[in-house]
Amino acid sequence: MARGDSGNKVARAARAGAGGGTGERRALGFPLALALVVILGVALVAFARSGREATAAPRLGDHWHSAYDIYVCDTYRGKIVNEADPNGIHTHGDGIIHIHPFSSLASGKSATIGEFFGAFGGMIDDTSIRLDTGETITEGADCGGEPTVIKVARFDAQDRDRAPQVITQGLADIRFLKNLEAFTIAFVPEGAEPPAPRSERFTFLETVDPRAITSGTPDAPTPTAG
């Protein structure tokens, strides 16, 4: 009988062990399923975001215009006259940036001030710009006893009373967000606000043939001042 009792104990132990394995598998299954759901969710969000960026305005075929000016200490500078345009953002020496991408390198999130400067062989970063003449303007020059810093002010040409958005970092990555904006690239003291582009730039912007605007895309919200 002792041997029989021993055999029963072994069988019960085996069954208990088998049941424990099932419990462990169930316990592990839930966090694995949860992790899979999280991974799939992140992937879907990333896919949706990339899709929006791929179709973000300005799109291929759009034709927007923005006025611009360059201001150093207390003086407006001349226009960029180089019309080089490898991807679809250029000027005709008219004080207007023409934004009509024919390459993904100049559309959506790639439609930037940096792309405009690069098109004519210039450059803009967070401390300096290089013009089409080869001249480089760098912050730090004396202006009324104070050193200058570079700022870019974004204005809404359709609401010129609205306070501009003033940007001091990531200048090359500043995007064109809609048709009829205006920008002043300024070298001014830390506490000074960049002025709006010269009035004639706005006047010329208003004469641009509206038939050139082929997007039909609703205007992006105007950024708040900051």
Domain span holding position 29: 1-54
Tens of pLDDT along 95-144?
999 999 999 999 999 999 999 999 999 999 999 999 999 999 999 999 99
The mean pLDDT value of the chain amounts to 81
Interatomic CA distance for residues 104 and 47, integer angstroms: 18
- Whole-structure pTM value: 0.70
**pLDDT(175) > 50:** yes
Interatomic CA distance for residues 134 and 136, integer angstroms: 6
Which of 87, 125, 129 shows the shortest CA–CA distance to 108?
87
Same domain for 78 and 182? yes
Tens of pLDDT along 8-23?
555 555 555 555 555 5
Report CA Rg, the chain.
Answer: 30
Write out the E strands in 86-190. 89-90, 96-99, 123-124, 128-130, 136-138, 142-143, 146-156, 165-167, 181-189
Same domain for 126 and 174? yes
Q: Which residue has the tokens 């730090």?
A: 140
Interatomic CA distance for residues 9 and 17, integer angstroms: 12
Same domain for 49 and 123? no
Which of 160, 166, 165 shows the shortest CA–CA distance to 206?
160
Interatomic CA distance for residues 201 and 182, integer angstroms: 9
pLDDT band at 215 (very low <50, low <70, confident <90, very high): very low
**pLDDT(66) > 50:** yes
Same domain for 4 and 99? no
More confidently predicted of 42 and 176:
176
Of 54, 76, 98, the last residue of a domain is 54
Mean pLDDT of 195-222: 69
